Structures are given as C-alpha cells and as structure tokens.
Amino acid sequence: MNILGKLFKVTAARMPRVRGLGSSFYFGHPFLDAWFAWFPLNQIQYDGAAVGEIYNVASRIDERKSVSWIVEWTKEAERISAHAEALRSRGHLFSAANAFLRAYTYFRTAHLATDPINYPEELGATYEGLSHCYARFGELSDVRMEVIRVPLRTESSGVAAELRGWFFHAANAAEQAAKPTLLWLSGAESIAEDVYWWCAAEGVRRGFNVLAVDLPGDTATRIENPNVMIEGAGDRGLLSVVDYALARPDVDPESFFVYGISMGGYRAGRLAQIDDRATGIIANAPMLNAAGVLAAVKDVHKAPKEAHGWAYRMFWQYGVDPNQDLKTALEELVDGVWGRFVVDPSQITDPFLSMAGENELGHEGIRQAKEFHKRNRSSAKELRITTAVEGAGAHCQLDNFPLARQIVFDWIEDRMLEKAVQRTA
C-alpha cells in the first residue's frame, strides 16, 4: 500500500462507523467496511463466498475510489461465473450451482456501489449479472425455489404492475399441502435475492416456506418497473404481498409470519398496524418514524464526494430529483419521503418480537426500538436487544447472522407450539 493509501486509512478510521458497526473488519472507509461485512463475509455461509476469493479482491481495491470497488468485485464475479458455466457444460451441476452462488455474491457486492448518476452502465450490468447467476443457482441446486410475480393493488382493485420476488418451498413440502410460511421484508439497500442468507436457507430446512418480494421503493423494482414508485407509507405494496401469500394453497394461513430487517423493520411494524392477518411479526429493528432514525443521512453532503453516490442511489430509488442542490435533495429524501414512514404501535395486537443490536443505528435507533416495544399493545410481545458480548451489537445483527436467525425461528416455533397447545386444551 502506498503512502496515500496509508494516510487514507488513518483518516478514515476516525470517521463514525455506519449501520451500528462498532469495529472495523477490513477497510478504513466505513461504507465499504459495512458492505464488506454485510455481503461477502456474511455470505461465506451456505457457500455464498470463499475466504480466499474475498480477501484477494479486497487487497486489490483502492478504497479512495468507488469505481475500484465496482471493477474488482465485477472482475471476480465474471471469473467465477465463467468457471460455473464451464462446470455446468461438463455436467458437474452441484459444483456449478455453488459457483454461481458465489458469483452472485460478487456481482451483488459490486452492485452496492453503483448509482444511476455516476455509474449507470455498471448499475445495469451488475444487476443483470447477479440476476443471471442467482437464477442459474436456482435451476441447478436442490433448493426448491421459484420466481414469483405479485400483482400490485390499485385503488379500484385492478393491477397496477407485477412485483418480482422469490418463493422458497419447505424442504418437507411433500408431507402436506400447506406449510408454515415466513414473509421477509427487505431493507432500503436489499433485493429479494438477499433473503437466502437472512432466513430462506435455514427456514426451508426448518420446514418453512419463505418468500421475499421487491416492493415499490426498492432497487430491483426501480429497475424492473421504472414507473412504479412508492406512495405514502408504502401500504399498498405490503398488503399486495400478504394478499398473494395467503392466496397460495401451499401457505398455511394459521402459521403465517412476517420478518422485516432495517427499513423492513419499519415495514413490519407498519404492516402490523394496518393488517391483522399475520400469526406473528418480527421487526429488526422497529421504527416509530424512519425520518427520525435516519436524520443523520442529511449530513451526507458534508462527506467526501465519493460517498455521494449512495445518496444519488437513494434519490433514484425513492423518486427524489437528483439534479437539485444535494443538501436540498437529502432533506426531501429524509423529511419528505422517509418522513411518511411512521408507525403507531398502540394499534398493534398481533404477537410481536422487537429486535435490535445494542448499537442499532445510533442512539435514536435503539431509543425508538425500545419505545416501540413499550407502546406496543400486543398481549404477546417481546423485546430482544443483542449485544457486542454476543458478537451481535450491530444494526440488525450484521455481525452475527446465525444468532439473528436462531432468535427469529425459535420465537416463531414457540408461537406455533403455543397455538397447538391452545387447540388441544
């Protein structure tokens, strides 16, 4: 590393950590370091990445230049994808499936740093690459997964558009038609494919169907349906997905659960407020108002220019004009768009689990999670704050996925057991 790179690392180490990550994993730049932990490191689980590949790529990245991140992860994704195609052509289907899953992770990691202003071609190319590799994995692996299209409600009961997503079938689906099902609600930077590591791979082994759908306001929806924008609090998309799930004959409506992470934590709380069809809901972490939790985003204009791409991506996703003054656009995003994302926990009666890392998006994030739990009127509510001592103090337990999944599924299984006891009493 040259002297400029070393100086950057020293300076960047003094910057505030992001997403509640209290320590550095590899990079000095807090955005890149959080992405590094979130994606390639976490996705080593279930053969979604390899240690040697990850650190080889990381060693080539100049973290002062976001384009370096895009180029190097894309280069690795293309190399592994070509290897997967060669394996497939020789009939090594199991090996090919695993290689395609790793290639997906590297395309996905590159995609995080793209935006429609600075890197529009790369945004489209990385999305096309990750979509292709994930679909190939689905075709070749023994995981039963299907692409789904969810009709988006209109006010007049018509269909405004179709939302894309994935449905994972429980491993023991042949035992009976309708299975317990978990709907995963993604965060602002997530896409439906990410569900595999958050809860799908484990969920199907535990006997659950798992589904995830890209909603209005999400990256993939903006790419797939450019004219579909989020409206108000986002209720229409949420209700449309629940309608779809409960209309499926392989979904047990008596064991239908919802799990939301990050911005999906807001969505989970909002759904619990406006709809009572879920058997239980988990918010990781719940928000009373998203604008309050994310108010610090308005300071991105003070950050180095290389960090502005993240803001432009958010503007594009949520329909904010990126051509106006950056500070003004950030205020519109936070106060105008996210300011509509509010939840009244006093209207919630469904069984509800509130989760948060102890460093959850700063003081306001953890304060709102605790206040949400306090004001929640559900007679079956729990609050679980994970800690740094557990290796899980970060936002949505980004530093400990296995513990997060254990908490979620054990809570769900406890609710199912309680219902079974009530039925036989």
> pLDDT tens-digit profile of 20-29?
555 677 887 7
**Whether pLDDT at 302 is above 80:** no
Question: 23 φ, ψ to 5°?
Answer: -140, 160
- pLDDT at residue 2, rounded to an integer: 58
In a domain, 151, yes or no: yes
| Tokens at 62, concatenated | 């100049």
> 283 and 153, same structural domain?
yes
- pLDDT at residue 104, rounded to an integer: 98
**Whether pLDDT at 6 is above 60:** no
**Domain that residue 393 falls in:** 143-289+341-424
Band (63; pLDDT cuts 50, 70, 90): confident
- pLDDT at residue 153, rounded to an integer: 82
Nearest to 264, CA basis, from 242, 244, 240, 234: 234
More confident residue, 201 or 62: 201
Element (H, E) at 29: none
- pLDDT at residue 16, rounded to an integer: 43
26, 40 Cβ separation under 8 angstroms: no
Cα 49 to Cα 38, 61, 87, 94, distances in angstroms: 12, 17, 17, 15
In a domain, 332, yes or no: no
**Whether pLDDT at 275 is above 80:** yes
Last residue of a domain, one of 116, 138, 160: 138
209, 251 Cβ separation under 8 angstroms: yes
- Report how far residue 201's alpha carbon sits from residue 31's, in angstroms, rounded to the nearest whole number: 27
- pLDDT at residue 151, rounded to an integer: 95
Give how many domains the chain has, as a whole number.
2
- pLDDT at residue 356, rounded to an integer: 97
- pLDDT at residue 247, rounded to an integer: 97
| Tokens at 192, concatenated | 């439906």
More confident residue, 154 or 210: 210
> 359 and 242, same structural domain?
yes
- pLDDT at residue 61, rounded to an integer: 92
221, 149 Cβ separation under 8 angstroms: no
- pLDDT at residue 14, rounded to an integer: 44
**Whether pLDDT at 239 is above 90:** yes
More confident residue, 37 or 321: 321
210, 284 Cβ separation under 8 angstroms: no
Residue count (the chain): 425
> 46 and 147, same structural domain?
no
